[in-house]
Amino acid sequence: MLNVGLLFHSSNSDNLGVGALTISQIEILRSISQATGIEIAITLFDWAGTRTPYVQGADVSIVRLTGEVMKAPRRVMNMFRQCDMMVDIGAGDSFSDIYGAKRLSRMMYLKYLVHMSRCPVVLAPQTYGPFTSRLVRPFARDLLKRAVLVAARDDHSTAAVRRLGVTRPVITASDIALQLPVEGNVPVWTRPVIGVNVSGLLMAGGYTGRNQFDLRADFVGTMHELIAQLLGLPERPEVVLVPHVISPSMPSEDDMNAALTIQSRIPEVTVAPAFKSPSAAKAFISSLDFFVGARMHSCIAAFSSDVPVVPLAYSDKFVGLFGSLGFDATLDCRTLGSEALVQSVLSGFRNREALARQVQIARMIGEERLGDYIDGLTRVIGEVALHKRTDAQAQLAVGHRWRAMDERL
């Protein structure tokens, strides 16, 4: 039995994008186990939360990390030592200082504890950087060098690794949520339906509340204008607001709160239900005729379902991911004004059939690139399993020799 730990994944995150990565990672590990015959047990290191876990199975154990546990590094290291290897996905995009020093410091602290536990680390496909602070870069470079396998989810992230001075091999893959399974009912609509994901985080001005991501346009006003224009289209579409971060305890980040606020001002729009899992969200999104979103994994749910999609970017990760696959429909909210954003989305809807064909081609490229990561992870799992088996055989041989000596004595 090989025990594989998952770090910076989540079984119950209110951010369904992080959940999508976790479910997809577990599915990848299960497929590797089936293909190789190596029995794999999965230990998911997670934070406590109020949401019912959407990850389950006899092969999955969840270990809770708390503030108190974090204050005891030896205790954390003992927990990590129970694993034969660790797969670290950095919550998709958090191995960066874009979200502030506190989040990155906590992440680096745990990463170093894994290495001090002598547990081999695989860095799963994720965004690397930006690392704007000179104080951060040496530690980021060191952690990248220590991993037994490094996979990036786009060309931009691989370039960011190279800018740090890291020359080791890097697998340039794609986002593993391309493999997220669909779960639950897929709605049936009687007229064209457009899904709009409005980010509560951007509505609130970021974590600082002061336009943290330097958006050029007023995001709130732009969303209201966009929705009004979509409702006025000749096709008379149904416009549905689709939350993808559902966090009642954090109203400033909650997409549902943002959607209901908009609905109170524009009652003609519909609000999707509060999804219980990332797979349920994908099932809903897969039913749409067109999608526009400011949460990247809501856009990936559409993209991987061949739904024509226009992502609204607030960081380089959007252009990095979709652009690396040859899909160029992303709109950068940091450079485009309100009018340009609205008109570009409307153009995307008018040309949705051509956009859908682009999505199909780009998705296939993403799935092919993702296969490179799966192959690399399979190789590491095989090597770790062989090493564990060899160690067990050596220990058994030593035991036999001691027993033989005892018998002679």
pLDDT in tens, 239-280: 999 999 999 988 889 999 999 999 999 999 999 999 999 999
- Which CATH number does 2-179+365-396 carry? 3.40.50.11720
What would the 3-class secondary structure string for 306-366 be? Answer: CCCEEEEECCHHHHHHHHHCCCCCCEECCCCCHHHHHHHHHHHHHCHHHHHHHHHHHHHHH
- pLDDT given at position 313: 97
So what's the pLDDT on residue 389?
86
- Concatenated DSSP letters for 104-161? HHHHHHHHHHHHHTT--EEEEEE-B-----TTTHHHHHHHHHH-SEEEESSHHHHHHH
What pLDDT was estimated at residue 396?
55
pLDDT value, residue 405: 47
Q: Residue 144 pLDDT more than 50?
A: yes
Q: Is the pLDDT score of 114 beyond 80? A: yes
Does residue 75 have a pLDDT over 80?
yes
The reported pLDDT for the residue numbered 393 is: 64
Span 305-320, average pLDDT: 96
**Confidence band (pLDDT; 50, 70, 90) for 323?**
very high
**pLDDT tier, 165 (very low <50, low <70, confident <90, very high otherwise):** very high
Q: How confident is the model at residue 397 (pLDDT cuts 50, 70, 90)?
A: low
Percent of the chain with pLDDT over 90: 89
| pLDDT value for 406 | 52
Q: What are the structural domain ranges in the chain?
A: 2-179+365-396, 193-350
Q: Which CATH architecture has domain 193-350?
A: 3-Layer(aba) Sandwich (3.40)
pLDDT, mean of residues 13-41 = 97
Are 2-179+365-396 and 193-350 in the same CATH fold?
Answer: yes
Residue with the bigger pLDDT between 337 and 398: it is 337
Whole-prediction pTM value? 0.93
Q: Which range has the worst mean pLDDT, 30-39, 46-55, 76-85, 394-403? A: 394-403
